[in-house]
Amino acid sequence: MRYLITGSTGFIGPYLVRRLISSGNTLRCMIRKGSNIDALKEFDVEYVTGDITDPASLYYIAKDVDCLIHMATLGHMSNFTVSEFMFDEVNVRGTLNIMKAALSAGVNKIIHCSSVAAMGICPDIPATEKSICYPHHPYGRSKLRAEKEVLNMVKQEGLPAVIIRFSMVYGPGDTRDMLKLTRMAKKGLFPKIGNKAKLTPLIHVEDAVEGILAAVEKGKPGEIYLITNRQSEEFDNIRKIIQEALGIRKTSLYIPEWIALVIASFVEKTFSFFGKTPPVSKKNIESTLADRVFSIEKAQKELGFNPKINPYDGIKETVDWYKEKGWI
């Protein structure tokens, strides 16, 4: 098959590219002007320059393509440095632009990669694809709006698009949440907050790629699939696994929930005042304190999705990679 991939230079991109190339597929990777393509240099792929926020740059970009995998996004780590308008510009209008280009070119299958952030803190335990969404921050709201636009195109124009929602994706090369947590633990700044389980959904990047490929093969247009592990992990267990991998044996500082929220609110306001990204925010803590559990029953039944990497092995592998690369 011939694939067009957006967001190929991101964290998941190289893993997906390697997997597709190894299966004998032909890849066209869309990159923005000036993008760092070092992580893709080992692969025999076609590069095309384009920007999803610029419709003119997308003419013919999907020509002769069988499948589009749309991963390009303005991510949640930018919550404090960009406006809600900018999230919409990239995540909503950008998504519309690339979907229109794919529809015009007659692409047979489209995988739109979304996030459980679009669902926010759901009261349903476990939450399913049918749960009512309550996005908790600008990034999540933009991802939900993008999903609605895609689904509308499926209904109104016959767009052959499948939506998958990832939970937190981690693994070697992750520069986002797991690296942030590992650096906090290394500095002794990863406390135990409250006594609740704080169930946290996550998935190793290799399993996330398998979820994408399963959606390509068996996903139904107009359907949404949750791609995460079978069970959410207690947040304190994530902290303990990271500390064990770092060789930290001292007891973590305990902070009651209400104090953590006060501290986070103060840190957020202070950093934002100086135009800097805060290391933690009140909404981060609120999300952490909530039990977020998602059912993958639909993905298992319809896609044959079967995540294999357990958090203990995956997190330890990731921390060891950080140490090897000198990131921590």
What is the average pLDDT score of the chain?
Answer: 93
pLDDT at 314 over 80: yes
Query: Residue for token digits 């069988």?
Result: 66
Task: Give the pLDDT band of residue 190 (cuts 50, 70, 90).
Answer: confident
Task: Give the pLDDT band of residue 3 (cuts 50, 70, 90).
Answer: very high
- Vertex 179, ends 279 and 32: CA angle to 5°? 90
pTM recorded for the entire structure: 0.93
Q: How many beta carbons lie within 10 A of that of residue 155, not counting itself? A: 11
Tally of structural domains, the chain: 1
> What is the arithmetic mean of pLDDT over 271-278?
75
Least confident of 16-20, 24-28, 40-44, 158-162: 40-44
**What is the percent of the chain with per-residue pLDDT over 90, rounded to a whole number?**
75
**What is the percent of the chain with per-residue pLDDT over 70, rounded to a whole number?**
98
Task: Give the pLDDT band of residue 81 (cuts 50, 70, 90).
Answer: low
- Residue 157 in any domain: the answer is yes
- Residue 162 in any domain: the answer is yes
* pLDDT for the residue numbered 191: 84
Q: Please give the residue that has the higher pLDDT: either 286 or 124.
A: 124
Provide the sign of the torsion angle of the four alpha carbons 39, 43, 49, 50, taken in this order. negative
On whether the CB atoms of residues 166 and 114 are closer than 8 A, the answer is yes
Task: Give the pLDDT band of residue 67 (cuts 50, 70, 90).
Answer: very high
Using a 10 angstrom Cβ sphere, with 0-12 exposed, 13-18 middle and 19 or more buried, the burial of residue 324 is exposed
Q: Which domain holds residue 145?
A: 2-170+202-229+292-309
> What is the arithmetic mean of pLDDT over 314-327?
97
Contacts of 151 (CB under 8 A, 6+ apart): 161, 163, 222
pLDDT at 284 over 90: no
Task: Give the pLDDT band of residue 77 (cuts 50, 70, 90).
Answer: low
* pLDDT for the residue numbered 249: 82
* pLDDT for the residue numbered 79: 58
* pLDDT for the residue numbered 25: 97
pLDDT at 82 over 80: no
pLDDT at 254 over 70: yes
- Residue 251 in any domain: the answer is no
* pLDDT for the residue numbered 206: 98
* pLDDT for the residue numbered 78: 54
Task: Give the pLDDT band of residue 89 (cuts 50, 70, 90).
Answer: very high
pLDDT at 93 over 80: yes
**Adjacent-strand bridge partners of 200:** 233
- Residue 46 in any domain: the answer is yes
Angle between helix 311-325 and helix 177-186 axes, rounded to 10 deg? 70
Predicted confidence (pLDDT) per residue in 130-143, tens digit: 999 999 889 999 99
* pLDDT for the residue numbered 232: 96
- Residue 285 in any domain: the answer is no
> What is the C-alpha to C-alpha distance for residues 205 and 201, in angstroms, rounded to an integer?
13
* CATH number for position 124: 3.40.50.720
- Residue 47 in any domain: the answer is yes
* pLDDT for the residue numbered 294: 97
Query: Residue for token digits 């999705």?
Result: 305
> What is the C-alpha to C-alpha distance for residues 309 and 288, in angstroms, rounded to an integer?
22
Least confident of 41-45, 251-255, 310-314: 251-255
- Residue 35 in any domain: the answer is yes
> What is the arithmetic mean of pLDDT over 86-98?
96
- Residue 299 in any domain: the answer is yes
On whether the CB atoms of residues 212 and 22 are closer than 8 A, the answer is no
Q: Please give the residue that has the higher pLDDT: either 277 or 270.
A: 270
